[in-house]
Amino acid sequence: MKELKDSKWFDVEYLPKEYIFSKEYRPGNLDSPVCDSIPVIDLSKVNGHVNSVEAIVKASKEFGTYLNLFDSIPGYSDSIPVTKQVINHGIPEKKVNDAMNVLKEFFNMSSKETHTKGWIYTNSTDYAKDGVHLWRENLKHPCHPIEDCIHLWPDNPTRYQEVISAYLVEIQKLSLRILELISEGLGLKSGYFKDMSEVQLLSSNIYPPCPDPSLTLGILPHQDPSLITLLYQGQSNGLQVMKDGQWINVGAIPNAFVVNIGNQLEIISNEKLKSVKHRVVNSTNETRLSIATFVNPSPDTIIEPAKVLVNEMEPSRYTPKQYKEYVQYNNAFGEYTVAIQNALRSKN
């Protein structure tokens, strides 16, 4: 990716002290290899195949919710171990590329307002923890329903709203398909998630090259407060997930989506599916751009374990709570939780 033309805060020889985290949060050794056993599911082969649906649930249990979903790549599927499957997610490559390009244009703009209308832009000077800054820039805005939210999005680049709305239509279709398969795998009724899942929030991050990635982070360790999160990371590595007490690298595959099962699906599944910690580390020579879309329950939805998953042997592990109460109580979006909730609530 071409270096950011106008954003020069990162163009330094040494890492400024305000970006250096305490030892407990530093990523440390960045030389660990990319994990080659992250589960991969072929979405084009799932329908009607019980084993494939079971594989989705099994992967979610074993790997803290990460699945790689990607279109067929000539010559690539042969290199996947037999226990893994390549995915056809069905989103046109052009729409994904257009979304990445327009977001790159946004981050390349010389001046960007913050907290404008319904969107939030944060740069490297925003605090992450204990007065330390993250090595990234971020854009967030509401997404559902698109027709009520689109006027809350950035006006520049001028094609932003058209391109991102087309992208989100595809994300909504894919998210419903994935949730339906997970529902089937858990033994829930068909359409269980249909009326409670909304692509509510887009969060895009750009991580410029960093002089010393071992001392800072792009995103702190966290769990997503969503049902599922669909992440597109292009061909840039940096995503890490915690497994068995160790951070492992989730490789970036061309045309791939990473599906992260969030806290709400962990609750609904009564902990049959797990949401684990993940983070983003930086690179000395690469710029990473990603698009995360959070598929959440509607604010008033009561979140609790599905009745069919609760019995004497498996009692409910959670108290029923409205999703908006969960977000507020857990301060799910940090210092921007109130602003995001207000944007999702108002949409006007």
Convert the pLDDT of each residue in 168-183 to its tens digit: 999 999 899 888 888 8
Per-residue tokens: 239: 């995503």
Mean pLDDT for the stretch of residues 9-19? 92
pLDDT of residue 328: 86
Alpha-carbon span 56 to 43, nearest angstrom: 10
Q: Please indicate whether residue 199 or residue 346 has the higher confidence score (pLDDT).
A: 199
Give the whole-number percent of the chain exceeding pLDDT 70: 77
Instruction: Find, among 157, 42, 77, 243, the residue nearest to 139 by Cα.
Output: 157
pLDDT of residue 44: 65
Convert the pLDDT of each residue in 194-225 to its tens digit: 888 899 999 999 999 999 999 999 999 999 99
- Give long-range contacts, CB 8 A cutoff, 24+ apart: 329-332: 330/225, 332/225
Alpha-carbon span 180 to 186, nearest angstrom: 10
pLDDT of residue 331: 80
Give the whole-number percent of the chain exceeding pLDDT 90: 47
The phi, psi pair for 146, rounded to 5°, reads: -55, -45
Supply the pTM of this predicted model: 0.86
pLDDT of residue 80: 24
Contact 175, 183 (CB under 8 A): no
Convert the pLDDT of each residue in 290-308 to its tens digit: 999 999 998 899 999 999 9
128 falls in which pLDDT band (50, 70, 90)?
Answer: confident
pLDDT for residue 43 is more than 80 = no
Per-residue tokens: 337: 């939780």
The phi, psi pair for 228, rounded to 5°, reads: -140, 155
Q: How far apart, in Å, are the Cα atoms of 292 and each of 126, 141, 204?
A: 20, 11, 6
Q: What is the mean pLDDT of the chain?
A: 81
Alpha-carbon span 135 to 129, nearest angstrom: 12
Distance of CA 146 to the CA centre of its chain: 19
Question: If you search the block for the tokens 């660990």, which residue do you land on?
Answer: 32
The CB-side HSE value for 321 (13 A sphere, CA atoms) comes to: 15
Q: Please indicate whether residue 76 or residue 323 has the higher confidence score (pLDDT).
A: 323
Q: How far apart, in Å, are the Cα atoms of 96 and each of 63, 99, 103, 291?
A: 26, 5, 11, 10
Per-residue tokens: 106: 């946004």
Helices 50-62 and 160-186, interaxial angle, to 10°? 100
The phi, psi pair for 160, rounded to 5°, reads: -55, -50
Convert the pLDDT of each residue in 53-89 to its tens digit: 455 555 555 554 444 544 332 332 322 222 222 344 6
What is the C-alpha radius of gyration for the chain, rounded to an integer number of angstroms?
20
Q: Which amino acid is at 93?
A: E
pLDDT for residue 258 is more than 70 = yes
pLDDT for residue 113 is more than 80 = no
